[in-house]
Amino acid sequence: MSEINTIEGDLIVGDARFTLVVTRFNSFITESLLDGAVDTLLRHGAKRENLTIVRVPGAFELPLVVKKIAAKGDVDAIVALGAVIRGGTPHFEYVAGECVKGMASAMMAHQVPVAFGVLTVDSIEQAVERAGTKAGNKGGEAALSSIEMVNILRQLD
């Protein structure tokens, strides 16, 4: 079989610019996600001066801020970080659903990668596991995804 042309993003970032949008609600979780994301970006070659952190009240507010940042066109990727923890009311479904729809819409409209590092979990224990304990750090995983997407898009341009 002949060689097949394959485009993949590598995991070295170089000169890319990232904005990390992090929620203050559930900050005991989101600060760990942020630490994981920043650590991952720096370990993979990002420069501190190319990182910007924007803090928003909660996950419901993420899409508007992500859309505004993407529309400016001065970042290579956005990493959205938050935690929506299920409670006893339907609030969880509304917030989580609108959050993901809004960020996906912003990504598609402005063609800027948006890494979804928003935990949607059933319990505080699950959130803690995903913010740096048993299940790794989902903030770091979102940052890694954003690096790969930046590199894929650069190859496609």
- DSSP string covering 78-145: EEEEEEEE--SSTHHHHHHHHHHHHHHHHHHHHT--EEEEEEEESSHHHHHHHEEETTEEHHHHHHHH
Catalytic hit among 68, 91, 101, 154: 91
91 is catalytic: yes
Cα–Cα distance between 31 and 147 in angstroms, integer? 20
Contact 38, 21 (CB under 8 A): no
Cα–Cα distance between 60 and 38 in angstroms, integer? 23
Contact 147, 13 (CB under 8 A): yes
Cα–Cα distance between 86 and 63 in angstroms, integer? 20
What are the catalytic residues? 91
